Amino acid sequence: MSPLESLREALRLLRAQPLRSLLTLFGLVWGTAAVIFLLSWGAGLQTMLDTAFQRAGKNLVQTWPGRISEDFSPAVDRRWLWYTPADVAALRARVRESDLVGAEARTYAPASFRGRAFSMEVRGVDPESQAIRDVPLASGRLVSRADVEHRRRVLVVGHRARERLLGADGRLGSWVRLDGTPFRVVGVLERVGTQLSRDGEEIDDQLWVPLSVHLALWPNPWLDEPMLSTIFARAKDRKRIDEAKRELRRVLAERLGVPPDDEEAVPIFSPVEMLERLPVDQQNGLYLLIALTTLLVGGIGILAMMLDSVQERRAEIGVRLALGARRRDVLLQFLWEGVAIVALGGALGVALGAGGALFLASGAFRGRIPAALRDLVPVPELSAGVVLLSVLAMGAVALAAGLVPAWRAARIDPAETLRVE
């Protein structure tokens, strides 16, 4: 008997009792759909977190002023430390694990434009720090090296800051007052979106001015040298974040005169590290486990249905054997029936799971999510690998659910089933 005939036979079996077939197939359909959907969702979640954590800069390693730890020095020496532009210059000359080192100074200042006034976060930036942030421009330009050198009073505005402060009238070339000092708007940033890791306001709410201007206009009143709020670096290799951190700390500790492993004196933070501490993999593992369990339950349903069918069709099997069917023919018939049923359920499941994933990724759905939340809802990522995995899992289920009943069917004694008692 050819596979095609077996397939036809299998479809006949499904049609004979549509409700039972539907209920049995449901487990399999749902299991397959769950595998595909949950794995796609998990991949999307990973990407979403990755993006949301790295919106402040890719492979970012960040340090801010700390103080000497109690463990290493007598109490009298426990003083606050600070970073200066000279530290940045030293780092740029000496670090190997990072390709960029930048610095920022931060303050809140009253910002006013044509009668609107807000307290906003103003950051002094340099070309390197902007390169690390890597925010695309909506219009105009970023703060240039010349701006920093000549202390030009120029301003780059974040996406939401532009909406709030400049409104409809503001444009490139407008003048904004920060703490009373006029700044000319030279650039507007693209929207960055929700940052799951940030230092202060989100970039969308920030105003950027040249670092030199910031240090001059808003100096630390307690110091007679310029003080930076943050130094940050971009690690060359995401997998070598630890090495990049260690190197940064070693150089800074040497310049500050503290032990090279004093984490309180030189506190360093990286979003990637934090991201890796999130149990995303475990969660995806759990998803996979749940999905595969569902598939297994579906497979057991098929197995029960097939066993039932063998029991019900003992007489039929006996007749087929009497008419010249070999045991192999009977085995193959039931095996193919199992495979056909699983293939049918699997195809429906793939369609359902992939359809669900594609729908959640579609513009029609994304458009309905409130803008504030959109960055935090994963976009399911349907991949060939995911589909392949589910097909493989299904194949295993099909084999198991088809083989046992087929084996039973092939072992039926024709004389026994044909005997009329």
Partner 1 sequence: MSAGDAAPAAIRLAGVHKRYEVGQSAVHALRGIDLEIARGEYVSVMGPSGSGKSTLLEILGCLSRPSAGRYWLDGTAVDAVDADGLARLRGEAIGFVFQAFNLLPRLTLLENVALPLLYRGVPRRARHERALGALARVSLEHRAAHRPGEVSGGERQRAAIARALVNRPKLLLADEPTGNLDSAHGREILTLLEGIYADGATVVIVTHDPGIGARMPRRIAIRDGEIESDRQEAR
Q: Which is nearer to partner 1, 239 or 328 (CB)?
A: 328
Give the nearest distance from C-beta 404 to partner 1 in angstroms.
Answer: 21
Q: x-or-dash pattern for partner 1, window 293-332, by CB under 8 A?
A: ----------------------xx-xxxxxxxxxxxx---
CB burial string 228-256: b at 16+ within 10 A, e below: bbbbbbbbbeeeebeebbebbbebbbebb
Q: Which is nearer to partner 1, 13 or 209 (CB)?
A: 13
What is 181-223 written as a DSSP string? EEEEEEEEEPP----SS-SSS-GGG-EEEEHHHHHHHS--TT-
Is residue 348 exposed (0-12), middle (13-18) or buried (19+ Cβ within 10 Å)? middle
Task: Determine if 114 is a binding residue for partner 1 (CB under 8 A).
Answer: no
Q: Which is nearer to partner 1, 264 or 316 (CB)?
A: 316
Task: Determine if 276 is a binding residue for partner 1 (CB under 8 A).
Answer: no
Distance (Å, whole) CA 151 – CA 125: 12
Give the nearest distance from C-beta 326 to partner 1 in angstroms.
Answer: 4
Largest CA distance in the chain: 111
Distance (Å, whole) CA 39 – CA 28: 17
Q: Which is nearer to partner 1, 349 or 414 (CB)?
A: 414
| Cβ neighbours of 168 (radius 10 Å) | 6
Task: Determine if 279 is a binding residue for partner 1 (CB under 8 A).
Answer: no
Give the nearest distance from C-beta 24 to partner 1 in angstroms.
Answer: 18
Q: x-or-dash pattern for partner 1, window 200-219, by CB under 8 A?
A: --------------------
Task: Determine if 340 is a binding residue for partner 1 (CB under 8 A).
Answer: no
| Cβ neighbours of 293 (radius 10 Å) | 12
Task: Determine if 419 is a binding residue for partner 1 (CB under 8 A).
Answer: yes
Give the nearest distance from C-beta 412 to partner 1 in angstroms.
Answer: 11
Number of residues that bind partner 1 (CB under 8 A): 24
Q: Which is nearer to partner 1, 114 or 326 (CB)?
A: 326
Task: Determine if 5 is a binding residue for partner 1 (CB under 8 A).
Answer: yes
Give the nearest distance from C-beta 347 to partner 1 in angstroms.
Answer: 23
- Both tokens assigned to 273: 């590290």
Distance (Å, whole) CA 140 – CA 185: 9
Give the nearest distance from C-beta 337 to partner 1 in angstroms.
Answer: 13
Task: Determine if 408 is a binding residue for partner 1 (CB under 8 A).
Answer: no
Closest CA to 253 of 233, 267, 240: 267
Q: Which is nearer to partner 1, 50 or 316 (CB)?
A: 316
Give the nearest distance from C-beta 5 to partner 1 in angstroms.
Answer: 7
Task: Determine if 277 is a binding residue for partner 1 (CB under 8 A).
Answer: no
Q: Tell me, what amino acid is at 41? A: W
Q: x-or-dash pattern for partner 1, window 61-80, by CB under 8 A?
A: --------------------
Run of H or E residues at 160: helix 159-161
Check residue 239 and report its DSSP letter: G
What is 53-104 written as a DSSP string? HSTT-TTEEEE---B--TTTS-GGG--B--B-HHHHHHHHHH-SSEEEEEEE
Task: Determine if 234 is a binding residue for partner 1 (CB under 8 A).
Answer: no
**Window 12-31: residues binding partner 1 (CB under 8 A):** 12, 16
Check residue 240 and report its DSSP letter: G
Rounded alpha-carbon distances, angstroms, from residue 55 to 60, 148, 334, 408: 10, 24, 56, 60
Task: Determine if 199 is a binding residue for partner 1 (CB under 8 A).
Answer: no
Rule CB under 8 A: which residues touch partner 1? 1, 5, 12, 16, 315-316, 318-329, 413-415, 418-420
